[in-house]
Structure 1
Amino acid sequence: MDMVMLRDKEDIAYFSKLIYETIHIPVFYINSHLEVIIGHPATYTANPIYPQTHELFTQLDFFNDPINIPVFRTTNFLENFISIKVESNGNFQGAWVLGPSVYIDVADETIQGLINDFQVKVSQEDIKRYYQSLPTVNKLTLLHAGLLANYLLFSKRISVTDVIQKENTLKIDFTMEDSPELLISKSRQEISFHTSYKLEKDFFKYVKEGRKEELLRKMGVPDTQGKLGVLSKKSHLRSEKNLVISAITLATRYAIDGGLHPEMAFTMSDLYIQGLEEINDALEVQTYLRKALCDFAERVLQERNHQYTNTIIDCQSYIFKNLYEEITLGQLAYLVNMHPNYLSTLFKKEVGISITEYILKQKVEEAKKLLTYSNYPLSEIYSWLNFHDQSHFTKVFKRYTGTTPKKYKKHQLGN
């Protein structure tokens, strides 16, 4: 069925402008030669990675899309697109393209990682400017934009589940030698199999239960019942690192199941995996893994020593996430749907100290980390943590540590 709106360029321009001004996402109409017929905004910043926009459209490969159905894509460079291929009299007419957009602001570290991974010959600043020019749109909103465009084009109601989603993935063909079936046959012949799933669960159970000593003993005993996989055929070090990343990822989940706060567990996971990439010795990688797993087990044990009701856990979780904000008894009481006086009594009964004392202790612990691992001045630290002034901060800090913030920092630096 021909579309009335595609009869002339004015209709195309009207539609693209209407969509752009409604959802604030770049909109293009390209013809069968991948030439841009019309586009909004007029000041669109092209991705400097591609010499020409034509090259980008070629990689997106609209020609193989179904007709009159929105297709969602994500490129290797984190760009998101919705495209709708259209026909006229049975011939390919062109395609509407909504995008690019990104889910979140792209961090400098991510940009540098993309440059390294894909050997991009463009300056980081140019790429950074490009990403800063892109609208930040979550996936559901982008999919709904595709539904809206499709409805305006064809007067056809479809749902999000009807949108075809194509992730940009590398095509990897297994050779006969790489087939799972053949490798399993080889393992049978050599009587050499992967470590059993049961043994893996038993191992990470030590993390979940905070049993550091048993964990260390288990890691010190060679496994004669199985072997670890090879996760990189080109680099032994890369294979070892990938195995450690897998282990840290599993340990994170087991630690959360054991009671460690999810935000703490995921943050630890991120930091350990980032630190792992700085190691260039395979033996040091294994030492690093022992350190990471023991850290998870120790922190789980600390949490397991304090068994609280769900009400208190909810309060502690709120305090954990909002430590840099002003936290009141009223806020916590509203959170758990409980009278402030009753919550105050319950908290002190279970935790052993008042809510106010608990919050102050947590703030001091946070201050200790900032003093140890950063160069922020005291004025910023006490201001961030909502202390009235430096005198008040110093008094509270000394009450819980026995020393002043300045002396504490000096001691941590070894001076």
Structure 2
Amino acid sequence: MRFFTTNRIRNHMKILTKGEYYGSQNSESSFNGVLLSQYTYLTDRTDWHYHENPYFMYVLSGNMKDCNTKTSTQCPAGSLMFNNWQEPHYGSKHSDRASGFHLEFEKDWLAKNGIVIDLWEGSQLIQNPKLHFLFANIYREFVMSDKLSPVTVEVLLLQVCDALSHVKQSNANENPEWVANLKEILHYDTSELSLHYLSKELNVHPVHLSRAASKYLSMGLGEYIRQQKLKKAFPLLLDLSHSLTEIAYQTGFSDQSHFNRVFKRYFGTNPKAYRKMMMKSF
């Protein structure tokens, strides 16, 4: 019945071709078969539609909801949503102002780089912080747009595809029950995420937790936690109502100095300079 409903919806909806989205386009750049664009979302709800190419939507500001034939997904600022090609869906806006950064792959680019389009079946909310970190860097290159941006974006895109394949492979494995609980804590818990705290919450010995986590997270536990904090910090930096000190504490850093050091390690600049540069696009 769902198959029939999906095809009936698709037969009576609009297909959005390359670079076409609902909303008002602020800027757009093309990098060898990959299209980057930033949009302000204007309507409370779009029509049912699907896209010619697979794409990612990174919510820069506001609250969105993505709805397809199977589920509805809340997408507040900082959310990273993947929508596959020919996936019927519609979007709705749940705040006065909302905007997003889109990254769209042409099928030729995927084929040229040996990436199977079925790598990403369906639509899904991406939680892995490594992918958020990579998208933050891609967005930075999109805003900067200098002569080195094309090659930098291409390298980052290949890292995105590699990270996605590892995430999918990890999700397909038979994981212990505590792994799902670990990911839940790392994604949503605002407590100080120490090894002792996680061990107590999960009832897993800290030595086993430390050794096994990298297998299921595709990186070491400490690295995952640092990237998770940066994932939470990125949308807050785009909201000038939050001071840098507030952002440091809200994202779990011990103080602003610690926040500055970790941020600079990953982005090559301090949060203040990064915020100033990013705000050029708003």
Q: TM-score range by the shorter chain?
A: 0.3 to 0.5
Structure with larger RCO (C-alpha < 8 A, sep 6+): 2
Structure with the largest fraction of strand: 2
Q: TM-score, normalised by structure 1?
A: 0.32
Structure with the largest fraction of helix: 1
Bigger Rg over Cα: 1
Q: TM-score, normalised by structure 2?
A: 0.46
